[in-house]
Amino acid sequence: MNTTAEPAAPVREGEAATAEPSFLRWIENNTPGDSRLIMCIQCGTCGGSCPSGPDMDHSPRQVFAMVRAGLKDEALSSNTPWYCVSCYLCTVRCPQEVHITDIMYTLKSKAIEEGMAQVDAAKVWSETFIGYVEEYGRSFELGLATRHNIRHRPMGMTRAASLGVGMLAKGRIDLTPQVIEDVGQLRLILWKAKELEAEQ
Amino acid sequence: MTGEEAQTNGHRIGVYVCHCGTNIAGVVDVEHVSEWAKDALGDRGVVVGKDYKFMCSDLGQELIQKDIEREGLDRVVVAACSPHLHEKTFRNATERGGLNPYLCEMASIREQVSWVHTNKAIATEKAKAMISGAVERVKEHESLEPFRVPIEEATLIVGGGIAGIQSALEIANAGHPVYLVEREPSIGGHMAQFDKTFPTLDCSACILTPRMSEVGVHPNIELLTWSEVEKVEGYVGNFAVTIRKKASYVINEDCTGCGICWQKCPKKVIDDKFEVGLGYRKAIYTPFEQAVPKYPVIDHDNCTYFEKGSCKACEKFCPTEAINFEDEDEVITVNVGNIVLATGYDLFDARRIPQYGYGRLANVFTSLEFERMTNAAGPTDGDIVLRDGVTAPKSVGIVHCVGSRDRNFNNYCSSICCMQSLKFAHLVHERTGAEVFNFYIDIRTPAKEYDEFYQRVLDEGTRFVRGRVAEVTDAARLPGEEGKLIVQVEDTLAGQQRRIPVDMVILSAALEPRTDAYETAKKFGIACSANGWFTEKHPKLDPVATMTEGVFIAGCSTGPKDIPATVSQGSAAAARILSYIEMGELALEPVRATVIAEQCSGCRICNDLCPFNAISYDAETELSEINIALCQGCGTCVAACPAGAITGTGFSNEQVLAQIEGLLMLNVEPQPVAEPA
Amino acid sequence: MKYMFYPGCSLHRSARPYLDSLAAIQEKLTMELQEVEDWNCCGATEYMSVYRAPAHALVGRNLALAQQQSNGSDTVMAACSACYLNLEKTENYMRTDEELNNKVNTALAEGDLHYDAGSIQVRHLLDIIYNDVGMDRIKNLVTNPLEGLKVAAYYGCMIVRPDVNQRWNSPEYPTVLEELMEALGAEVIDFPMKTHCCSGHMTQISSDVAYELIRRLIYGATHYEADILVTLCPMCQLNLDAYQIEMNNHFDTDYVMPILYFTQLMGLAFGIEPEELGIGREFVSAKQALAKIGAPVPDEVPEKGKPRRKKKKEEGLPMPQVSTRFNGGSK
């Protein structure tokens, strides 16, 4: 594999992997509990089990290998975490009990932080969703669907619109967002949490 | 008591500090410690303080011997590894120097100091404290003499698989009596179920059955099949073992093994033992044709007569009137000097991994089912067919590591599955010409001729896919998948998720400890590992002995292993026992616990705590009693007794308190000491 | 039996029929539900994709509110699988990861809130119905058994995985929903895809991926001859129901597999009117399937083409001796 992290000239032992411990450690430290990332034996249970595996750039285990090899750019620019559907099949089947799904979340947030998220639709969907949650305290399906579709049209605008009309007709979507009473309190909490996270 | 108040009491003590190469010397300043012992402990009786690279070497031992003679030492302290490893070595050296061996004490400054500390200054101070404790303790030591117990000549072997058979034959051929207990109606074990053995492809039955018949007719072997051990009492050299011979409803003395009874028996039962559910037997049966002994048994729970009160077809047709429906269990007691536990393994229940579909998808088979299927004497006469009993598969997937190397189930490698799966690939290829896929994480072929066999199977065209199978399903979704079993896997070498349609899937299931392994271990007073396998006395240097003298272990009961290793262990256990029988009597460690009768209240707290079943309660005297031959001197009861009524020879209260005082004489704060070179 | 109730955003919107049917059967089940006041969104799978500690603080606010409002019950019940998992995960990580616990509580303190990890039990509606109400009570409530209705019980992912508190008998092959459906009198099919993914948020990210995942499930349920697929998660219902038509367009197929909530079928079996249970608001009409149990049939009945499954022969080698129900989970 072609990498930017790999040095061009041979280096003495100990120098090659300078990037590795810090990136690996960062991922481990920012995954809740014990991620067990270093326990992966590359058996492929994750990649075999994954419902969106065929559409991923890399199997989860390959991403873990990149993380362990210090190939930060390659790991963060892979579409793999963005195609994770959070079904946890890999996590419960993993013979080494690696917390695969949780590590995927950590990789996504790191990729956004570093401006390397490759799957724009996924990133924007997450961000749009979060935007509504922070604005109203609840998600707002109609707003989400329209705002997201205007930019990304995963299923084409016409189809999305007809689906929306259907939802309205069935009484399954609201035209206005629901707002929680103490949205100010929620914002204070989230603001503080973000501040704490940035301190790291 | 302070250091100054400590008395020499006329003792002359030698302190020897071992470097253990760099194991100890890398962390503890051993030169400093040995000099300190001589200088600082002089007023406490230490007259010699020496350090040496390897105290356990001949030269190291000679140091002790010579100092005893020249310096007139009367006590020896060796600061080295754990007493588990070399206590015997240094006791022997002490004895050769002319002292009673029990006047030697070890301080474990490797396991308890250098291997668990990184701060050199603290480690060095702690080593000193431990030596200080050992010095105070050894002053309280007394000369002891070992117990001698006679060895009963007969041996009990539990389990009639190849390990038990091997042990039995070795001992019986040397001229000594053997009781061989087997819970099934025939000996033979798992090996009798197999078709071929890897890597030579010998026919399993061809190499096993001669050994089985040899056992059956051996004048020195009393074969107790359809029997189970109920109780074990006594100790090495003199065990009394209670055995239940289950009612077989057949009078063996009259039975000729002609087989008319099972031909006539109208009740067909799915055989979930020998045929692992893949075939049928009758309610009166022997598990297989070459069974040893040849006598059948009646399966009480499935017999029509016992169910409905009428039938007795077997009795009607038996030409020698050998059926007895009034038969009852018989309980016998045998006296033996030694015991071999060769109780084998159970196969992992593949239903516990529902995504592999076993039990739900008809054409998913376990490894043991496949062994029966390929066996010419098995339910399909050796034909490899689908569950419909007729269709030969055109493609077969063999899944490695099912329930092994998986922290959800068993975190160990079952060691035989790689070779077994390669053998299956070969057999499928040879007999059906079907396309074979082996799905593996790693191929492990470490023994003689094993990797060569892998090469052969590669050469035959078996497709190897490196990836642990994610799931087996019949839910088709792509062209060509309809009606097939689809093996979904990441081909980790190609980096692709693949769905491979096959007709048949074989799951190479893990080897697990018997479900009653803990119960068995408790019955015989031995221990199990966290995984449930019987624990060896030493995993490398004493792999067939246990911490309980006279109880030996062999074969898969100690962990997964192949046939050659199993047979080796059967022989090894026999060799250990033969040497005991040859000795006629055995010297036992005098380090034992004793009950002080006047202080014992008979509360029995100690009885259940003893890991060696050495303590019993005498209803007449209302006191607990310790069987000194069973006691291993572990000290559990001494610590547990609420009345302080149990004392240990070799670990008396005086000795332990002196050691604690000695430890506390030093203030172990990090002192500025020279870093070891 | 009193519980606190965290409905989550979906139940107020796209999964309204779920909420309505729950409300309709709640009394019969003698369940008293106290809604957590002023709850906020759990963040679904999205918040965690961008933030870590804030994602848990978001959920932490709900846990803190529940603890504060707790009045006779320390159990918070969620009916949506994503809500259930997020609440359960944050609760669990706050209990086991001290650093995270401190961060979340420091953030909560800004809003004068605090959550003591371990003080709230998070449980899913199905768990409560199965274990607290119990199958015997359910059977007694059945007045209109669902006889003849072939049901595929579908769990989706997040209720049984990763199952941090080991509440379910298997992360791959649970059987609780099947038992419940059998208690209602329905015929339950063995549906091997019962815990496969409904495509989650992929409908918004890559419709090709989403349509394929939806197709597998709809095709599977059709292949195994189910009349209806019953679910317990708003996301699963939405994806399989609303996007089923899109999926059919995409692949040029004509599957008709109605998707209902298990609470709707409970209501029908208890004799409650379909309308009260929100039946009729699904995209793929359930009316034809429900006609089998005597529910009103609509005027036009769409054609239903199904591949037939081959019957297994009853000869040959015996199958492994296995109870029809798998009950031993791996965890």
- pLDDT tens-digit series, residues A81-97: 999 999 999 999 999 99
* Beta-carbon separation of C220 and B475 below 8 A: yes
pLDDT given at position A182 = 95
* Beta-carbon separation of C93 and A32 below 8 A: yes
* Beta-carbon separation of C111 and A52 below 8 A: no
Contacts of B497 in chain A (CB under 8 A): 47-48, 50, 53-54, 59
Helical packing angle, B653-664 and B120-139, nearest 10°: 150
Contact between residue C320 and residue B351 where contact means Cβ atoms under 8 Å apart: yes
Tens digits of residue pLDDT in B41-100: 999 999 999 999 999 999 999 999 999 999 999 999 999 999 988 999 999 999 999 999
Question: Residue A153: pLDDT above 90?
Answer: no
Helices H / strands E in chain A, number of each: 10, 0
* Beta-carbon separation of B351 and C330 below 8 A: no
* Beta-carbon separation of C313 and B473 below 8 A: no
User: Could you state, in order of their start, the residue ranges of all structural domains in chain A?
Assistant: 19-113, 120-198
Of A146 and A129, the one with more pLDDT? A129
Which residues 197-256 of B have a C-beta within 8 angstroms of C? none
* A41, A48, A92 member nearest B490 (Cβ): A48
* Beta-carbon separation of C315 and B388 below 8 A: yes
pLDDT given at position C321 = 67
User: β-pairing, B364-366 with B345-347?
Assistant: unpaired
* Beta-carbon separation of C223 and B476 below 8 A: yes
Select from 3.40.50, 1.10.20, 2.30.30, 2.60.120 the CATH code of B13-144+656-664: 3.40.50
| Cα distance between residue B596 and residue B619, in whole Å | 17
Neighbours of B494 (CB within 10 A): 11
Between the alpha carbon of residue B294 and those of residues B164, B403, B492, the distances in Å are 19, 36, 51
* C193, C317, C326 member nearest B354 (Cβ): C326
Contacts of A105 in chain C (CB under 8 A): 48-49, 52
Distance between A53 CA and the closest CA of chain B, angstroms: 6
Q: Which residues pair with B268 in a beta bridge?
A: B282
One fold for B13-144+656-664 and B247-328: no
Query: What structural domains does chain C harbor?
Result: 2-125 (1.20.1050.140), 143-291 (3.40.50.11810)
Question: Residue A164: pLDDT above 80?
Answer: no
B413 near A CB under 8 A: no
| Cα distance between residue A103 and residue A64, in whole Å | 9
Contact between residue B236 and residue B337 where contact means Cβ atoms under 8 Å apart: yes
Which residues 115-134 of A have a C-beta within 8 angstroms of C? 119, 121-122, 125-127, 129-130, 133
Neighbours of B53 (CB within 10 A): 14
What would the two tokens of residue B672 be? 């500025």
pLDDT given at position C304 = 46
Residue-wise DSSP of B510-525: PEEE-TTHHHHHHHHT
B405 near A CB under 8 A: yes
User: β-pairing, C121-124 with C75-78?
Assistant: parallel
A16 near C CB under 8 A: no
| Cα distance between residue B99 and residue B76, in whole Å | 9
Contacts of C331 in chain A (CB under 8 A): 92
| Cα distance between residue A128 and residue A145, in whole Å | 10
C147 near A CB under 8 A: no
Question: Which helix (H) or strand (E) covers residue A157, if one does?
Answer: helix A157-169
Neighbours of B211 (CB within 10 A): 19
pLDDT given at position C256 = 96
User: Which of A130, A147, A174, A187 is best to mutate for the C interface (most C CBs within 10 A)?
Assistant: A130
CA terminus-to-terminus distance, chain A: 32
What pLDDT tens digit does each residue of chain C (331 aa) get?
A: 999 999 999 998 899 999 999 999 999 999 999 999 999 999 999 998 889 999 999 999 999 999 999 998 999 999 999 999 999 999 999 999 999 999 999 999 999 999 999 999 999 999 999 999 999 999 999 999 999 999 999 999 999 999 999 999 899 999 999 999 999 999 999 999 999 999 998 988 888 889 999 999 999 999 899 999 999 999 999 999 999 999 999 999 999 999 999 999 999 999 999 999 999 999 999 999 999 988 664 444 344 444 444 444 456 888 876 544 434 333 3
Contacts of C328 in chain B (CB under 8 A): 349, 351-352
User: Which of A28, A30, A49, A52 is best to mutate for the C interface (most C CBs within 10 A)?
Assistant: A52
User: Which of A87, A118, A119, A120 is best to mutate for the C interface (most C CBs within 10 A)?
Assistant: A87
**How far is C-alpha C301 from the geometric centre of its chain's CA atoms?**
28
B393: nearest Cα among B401, B402, B403, B383: B383
* Beta-carbon separation of B475 and C173 below 8 A: no
Q: How many residues does chain B have?
A: 677
Question: Residue A7: pLDDT above 60?
Answer: no
* C190, C316, C322 member nearest B387 (Cβ): C316
* B272, B362, B477 member nearest C321 (Cβ): B272
User: Which of B492, B496, B498 is best to mutate for the A interface (most A CBs within 10 A)?
Assistant: B492
* B278, B355, B366 member nearest C318 (Cβ): B278
Q: What is the CATH number of domain B247-328?
A: 3.30.70
Contacts of B280 in chain C (CB under 8 A): 318
Contacts of B356 in chain A (CB under 8 A): none
| Cα distance between residue C283 and residue B41, in whole Å | 91
Q: Which CATH class is domain B346-512?
A: alpha beta
**Max Cα-Cα span within chain A:** 69
Between the alpha carbon of residue C145 and those of residues B181, B608, C20, C268, the distances in Å are 56, 56, 21, 8
What would the two tokens of residue A164 be? 């929306």
* B355, B468, B471 member nearest A43 (Cβ): B468
* Beta-carbon separation of A152 and C213 below 8 A: no
Contacts of C202 in chain A (CB under 8 A): 52, 83, 85
User: Could you state, in order of their start, the residue ranges of all structural domains in chain B?
Assistant: 13-144+656-664, 247-328, 346-512, 591-648
User: Which of B355, B411, B503 is best to mutate for the C interface (most C CBs within 10 A)?
Assistant: B355
CA angle B93, B94, B98 (to 5 degrees): 115
Contacts of A139 in chain C (CB under 8 A): 9, 41, 44
Q: Chain C residue closest to B389 (CA)? A: C316
Q: Is the peptide bond before B611 cis (omega within 30 degrees of 0)?
A: no
Chains touching chain C at 3 or more Cβ pairs under 8 angstroms?
Answer: A, B
| Interfacial residues of A (vs B; Cβ cutoff 8 Å) | 41-50, 53-54, 58-59, 61-62, 89, 92-93, 95-97
Q: Chain A residue closest to C48 (CA)? A: A105
Fold of A19-113: Fumarate Reductase Iron-sulfur Protein; Chain B, domain 2 (1.10.1060)
* Beta-carbon separation of C319 and B474 below 8 A: no
Q: What's the pTM value of the predicted model, to 2 decimals? A: 0.85
Contacts of C219 in chain B (CB under 8 A): 477
Question: Residue A127: pLDDT above 50?
Answer: yes
Q: Chain C residue closest to A199 (CA)? A: C103
Distance between A72 CA and the closest CA of chain C, angstroms: 18
Distance between C189 CA and the closest CA of chain A, angstroms: 22
What would the two tokens of residue B527 be? 């221990």
Distance between A168 CA and the closest CA of chain C, angstroms: 9
pLDDT given at position A13 = 43
Chains touching chain A at 3 or more Cβ pairs under 8 angstroms?
Answer: B, C
E strands in B394-550: 395-402, 435-440, 463-466, 471-473, 485-491, 496-502, 504-509, 511-513
* Beta-carbon separation of B467 and A43 below 8 A: yes
| Interfacial residues of C (vs B; Cβ cutoff 8 Å) | 170, 172-173, 190, 192-193, 215-216, 219-220, 223, 310, 312-313, 315-322, 326, 328, 330-331
Q: Does the predicted interface ipTM exceed a cut of 0.90?
A: no
Q: Which CATH architecture has domain B591-648?
A: 2-Layer Sandwich (3.30)
Q: Chain C residue closest to A27 (CA)? A: C52
Residues of chain B with pLDDT under 70: 1-7, 668-677
pLDDT given at position A6 = 43
pLDDT given at position B429 = 96
* Beta-carbon separation of A108 and C50 below 8 A: yes
